[in-house]
Structure 1
């Protein structure tokens, strides 16, 4: 078996070399361009759902137009390029295979000009044109020849947990430092082709260095797998000198600052926030309290808490608009591999609840927990808490209390809270 796998791997290595469109170099590649595009298209809805988009059509069009012009100046203008601003306060930018690129409102708030935004978009375009994600995936595929990969939770149950897994796994593919340096050089190439000031790339690295406070351990998310900003800055100065690109090109500082004027800065409390274990959502006017001491998570599609031992979780997500809780819970309990106990239904203060204990069979074992569907306002929410059957009895009271804590918010100070804006 091992001999056959090794022989197969060697054959693949011999027959799977392709010319990198951005660098002109031959490299090992198992992923075709059509596969890249398919993966990006399939993953894009998961990214959009998980992060959410900034509700500013003018800003979205501005970033999309700039990104499209840069992409058209690249070696792969034929890709279905897409550029979106996601509603996340973290300083971050990332790309999916096939030309799907995202920048956070957090990073936009730190740029000083359109040229700096162009530099970061150019960097992400460089990852796509140089096929860095596809290259990483090809390496993983060759390593997995003859090796079976199991799933932790069955797909039938995972969808009820409210976790968008498909596609987001692509975001976990880390680039090498060589990839990052290459993307920096390609980003410089693309902004120079559009006449932007090359020094904008240096400005980006200076900003990232300031955001990290000069400490490698506190780098923004976008920087965690990148060379240190000061090293990138030095390398970029050398690249600018070697290529002779313009250091007196387009900057568009005033136009950019006008475009981001009023953008939300930092966390947006209107989308929900924590006060200790208590979660409050001003926009939807509800609150609930998670178990004390659990690690909390607040994302657009899900709010959750994880036990200190990481062996139990309770999470809240939106089910369906206007869905009847009784119907919803019976659909859940009738799912593949799910066995449910008696359903309890109640209504109070405009809140309808249907809840039940359950066990769910997965490919790696059995989970035990409690599920509740809660209709409040125009939405129906789904709360699921679970652990292993042996540990569930110890966690059940905490999960039950969390579900029971779902309540209407009436405090005008909470309902009226507003985010900081530039």
Structure 2
């Protein structure tokens, strides 16, 4: 009973301290921070985001996105905030908001949108998360679960209870969930209508994202792979046109759009996409087939046939087709000799099968860290940088079975040649007018997309899975 009373006191104190009126909905929500604390939280988080995600280096596009975002935010329930809209140089199809008005959209999502109204819908949706304080509510729930965990630990004398409750709380509040996403859609549609855009664009954006899910599922099924989980905004089980709750969320906003309040600005938006990198960018490195090229760092390497590469801000990772082996490359500052560098990073661990590497005029060192599983490690010095490789297999699999492929990848590393520098340039979007009788199959013949070019062109132009262009339409193609 004492423990139950203690937990009740904690929850009661948190509830009394944390009830606040939601500025967007008028509802009473559980929050545990003031608006100033929210702004401080967002500012600190934005600094971390800036370190992790590179800003896309096109200030004209950045200014355009800021302008569209400010237009929508001006009609929001928290127009007093100073909103910052940033395009991230990433091929991911995503957008997100931090508390206090810091909103980010990935370059990859921009490529699949087809009008300024759709861009405004994405930004409006994220503004809706900010105005409804969804991030603050999520943070407050997490804080409350942390307090509860401390109370359980005090009441039982078992410190691990606090950790367990934190884990449960984190799992419970992970992601915004369908209700908050629908609320953000509803608020975003209102802001669209009030700012003069067509609120139907909110549904069109969800169609774009739903098509991405359908495409990923179709590809996985054809290749016999596991169906990927839903990505950004993946909360709709049916087609958006048939999703009753989505229609209920967006429908009332249509009544707000009076005569003249139905702008889409399709051509203006598409012109801003001219030349936009599609997929990887020069600044982050470009994947072409089994090879990776980085113009800024001046190197290339190749993964074994059938392996896939994941280009992340913190590492380049190659994964085998059966997902049982991977090799990751990270960047560090070169110091001492390659052997001394590697030994220092190992912190005294014994290195077996150690040997120097000499390739294309570069110096390096490699070896195997014994254990279960064993790991292949290597470092190659180039200029003043150290390229560190760590390769491993899952579970109890043997390193020997794939070690030749690990070494093949490591030893493929070399400085870019003049011809390879051309390959380090990204694919880019270009606009063309559709000709009479022209099909996506015809357009795909000249596409540099390595696979599924026709399906990708349909996705880019709102025509997946079987649509065709109409004569005179502006189309996005990849060159």
- Answer yes or no: same fold by TM over 0.5: yes
> CA separation of 1:239/1:299 partners in 2, compared to 1, >3 Å: closer, same or farther?
same
> CA separation of 1:82/1:227 partners in 2, compared to 1, >3 Å: closer, same or farther?
farther
Deviation by residue 1:210-257 (Cα, 9 ceiling, x = unmatched): 44459987897223235652326522552135x433363233333222
TM-score by length of structure 1 reads 0.75
Contact 1:198 1:247 in 2 (8 A): no
Contact 1:346 1:353 in 2 (8 A): yes
TM-score by length of structure 2 reads 0.67
Matches within 5 A, 1:252-331: 252-268=265-281, 271-273=285-287, 275=289, 278-281=290-293, 283=295, 284-290=297-303, 296-306=309-319, 313-320=326-333, 323-324=334-335, 326=337, 330=341
Matches within 5 A, 1:396-407: 397=403, 399=406, 402-407=409-414
Please name the residue that 2:223 is paired with.
none
Matches within 5 A, 1:223-242: 223-226=233-236, 228=238, 229-230=240-241, 231=243, 234-236=247-249, 238-241=251-254
Please name the residue that 1:419 is paired with.
427
Quote the offset at 1:344 in angstroms: 6.2
> CA separation of 1:290/1:418 partners in 2, compared to 1, >3 Å: closer, same or farther?
closer
Quote the offset at 1:60 in angstroms: 0.8
> Per the alignment, in what secondary structure is the counterpart of residue 85 of structure 2?
strand
Number of matched residues?
A: 391
1:244 aligns to 2:246 (yes or no)? no
> Per the alignment, in what secondary structure is the counterpart of residue 204 of structure 2?
helix
Contact 2:286 2:293 in 1 (8 A): yes
Please name the residue that 1:158 is paired with.
none
Contact 2:315 2:330 in 1 (8 A): yes
Alpha-carbon distance between aligned partners in 1 of 2:69 and 2:331, rounded to the nearest angstrom: 33
Please name the residue that 1:381 is paired with.
387
Deviation by residue 1:95-129 (Cα, 9 ceiling, x = unmatched): 12232211122222233322221111011011111
Please name the residue that 2:468 is paired with.
none
> CA separation of 1:303/1:38 partners in 2, compared to 1, >3 Å: closer, same or farther?
farther
Alpha-carbon distance between aligned partners in 1 of 2:42 and 2:339, rounded to the nearest angstrom: 32
Please name the residue that 2:200 is paired with.
199
Per chain length, whose mean CA-contact separation is higher, i.e. which structure has more relative contact order (CA < 8 Å, sep 6+)? Answer: 1
- Larger CA deviation: 32-41 vs 250-259: 32-41
Quote the offset at 1:183 in angstroms: 0.6
Alpha-carbon distance between aligned partners in 2 of 1:96 and 1:234, rounded to the nearest angstrom: 26
Quote the offset at 1:35 in angstroms: 4.2
Alpha-carbon distance between aligned partners in 2 of 1:6 and 1:387, rounded to the nearest angstrom: 48
Contact 1:295 1:307 in 2 (8 A): yes
Q: Looking at CA atoms only, which structure, 1 or 2, has the larger radius of gyration?
A: 2
Quote the offset at 1:37 in angstroms: 3.4
Alpha-carbon distance between aligned partners in 2 of 1:215 and 1:313, rounded to the nearest angstrom: 22
Contact 2:17 2:32 in 1 (8 A): no
Please name the residue that 2:183 is paired with.
182
Alpha-carbon distance between aligned partners in 2 of 1:91 and 1:54, rounded to the nearest angstrom: 14
Alpha-carbon distance between aligned partners in 2 of 1:400 and 1:299, rounded to the nearest angstrom: 21
> CA separation of 1:235/1:205 partners in 2, compared to 1, >3 Å: closer, same or farther?
farther
Alpha-carbon distance between aligned partners in 2 of 1:292 and 1:34, rounded to the nearest angstrom: 53
> Per the alignment, in what secondary structure is the counterpart of residue 197 of structure 1?
coil
Alpha-carbon distance between aligned partners in 2 of 1:309 and 1:134, rounded to the nearest angstrom: 40
1:338 aligns to 2:347 (yes or no)? yes
Contact 1:340 1:357 in 2 (8 A): no
Instruction: Pick the aligned partner of 1:41 from 16, 40, 43.
Output: 43
Quote the offset at 1:354 in angstroms: 4.5
> CA separation of 1:386/1:266 partners in 2, compared to 1, >3 Å: closer, same or farther?
closer
User: Gaps spanning 5+ residues in structure 2: where?
Assistant: 150-160, 165-169, 218-226, 431-479
Contact 2:66 2:86 in 1 (8 A): yes
Instruction: Pick the aligned partner of 1:60 from 59, 62, 66.
Output: 62
> Per the alignment, in what secondary structure is the counterpart of residue 246 of structure 1?
coil
> CA separation of 1:5/1:76 partners in 2, compared to 1, >3 Å: closer, same or farther?
same
Contact 2:359 2:411 in 1 (8 A): no
Alpha-carbon distance between aligned partners in 2 of 1:266 and 1:272, rounded to the nearest angstrom: 8
Deviation by residue 1:122-180 (Cα, 9 ceiling, x = unmatched): 11011111111222232233334224449xxxxxxxxxxxxxxxxxx99x941121111
Deviation by residue 1:169-196 (Cα, 9 ceiling, x = unmatched): 99x9411211111111211222233222
Quote the offset at 1:21 in angstroms: 1.6
Alpha-carbon distance between aligned partners in 2 of 1:354 and 1:42, rounded to the nearest angstrom: 39
